């Protein structure tokens, strides 16, 4: 896989997290895999709700914890959303048992807690790490309206420099129009070094 390109964005509220995901949805297409990571309460399900809204799929989008995977058909003729919770899966063996590959070509697939478990399924993926403030920097780290930091790392030929630059520009535009703040001009980096800055349920259990 090619070296990852990175975008870092800060959101001030749960709605900001949804709006960032909604902006990202406009850059997704059939076959895309998103791997969501971050601690409990960081906003993974909230982020996926924004994706579902942006993709125009049938809702509601909720945590698939007890069914492992949910499929949300498109209402607008676009890709369906396959939403997977890998928290209780033991590893790649259980992921393979889900047979996700049979649906991935016609879907945008989002896997919560999927880091190091699903990347082998495709040659390109987008990892989204959601982080809460450090405990000492937040009045209440469990509060959905506390700031969150989203780090998007794009890996593989699907996410070339042009695609990442377009996404970074979109997130920067959202940041200027909402309660998002792009950190360091929406930091876009690759293994070769930094690119120009202008290439920039409520948030609960997930």
Scanning the chain, the segments in alpha helix (DSSP H) are 14-25, 44-55, 92-97, 101-104, 161-177
What one-character-per-residue DSSP string does 127-175 give? EEEEEPPPGGG-S-TT-TTS-EEEEEEEESTTS-HHHHHHHHHHHHHHH
Q: What is the pLDDT of residues 72-123, one digit of tens each?
A: 999 999 999 999 888 776 555 566 666 676 678 889 999 998 888 788 888 9
| % of the chain exceeding 70 in pLDDT | 68
pLDDT tens digits, 6-47: 999 888 888 888 999 999 999 999 999 999 999 988 899 999
All domains in the chain, ordered by first residue: 5-199 (3.40.50.300)
Q: Can you tell me the distance from the alpha carbon of 71 to that of 46, in angstroms, rounded to the nearest whole number?
A: 17
Distance CA 204, CA 196 (A): 35
User: What is the Cα–Cα distance from 98 to 96, expressed in whole angstroms?
Assistant: 5
Lowest mean pLDDT among 25-39, 62-76, 124-138: 124-138
């Amino acid at each position: 896989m090619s070296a990852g390109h990175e975008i870092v964005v800060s959101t001030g509220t749960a709605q900001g997290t949804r709006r960032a995901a909604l902006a990202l949805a406009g850059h997704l297409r059939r076959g895309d895999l998103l791997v969501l990571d971050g601690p409990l309460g960081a906003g993974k399900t909230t982020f996926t709700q924004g994706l579902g809204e942006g993709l125009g799929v049938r809702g509601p989008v909720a945590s698939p914890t007890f069914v492992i995977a949910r499929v949300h058909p498109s209402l607008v003729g676009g890709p369906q959303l396959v939403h997977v919770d890998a928290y209780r899966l033991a590893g790649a063996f259980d992921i393979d048992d889900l047979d996700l590959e049979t649906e991935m070509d016609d879907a945008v697939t989002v896997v919560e807690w999927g880091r190091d478990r699903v990347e082998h399924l495709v040659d390109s993926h987008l990892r989204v790490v959601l982080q809460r403030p450090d405990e000492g920097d937040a009045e209440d780290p469990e509060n959905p309206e506390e700031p969150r930091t989203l780090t998007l790392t794009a890996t593989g030929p699907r996410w070339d420099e042009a695609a990442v630059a377009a996404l970074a520009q979109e997130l920067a535009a959202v940041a200027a129009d909402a309660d998002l703040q792009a950190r360091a001009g929406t930091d876009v980096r690759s293994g070769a070094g930094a690119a120009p800055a202008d290439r920039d349920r409520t948030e609960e259990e997930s």
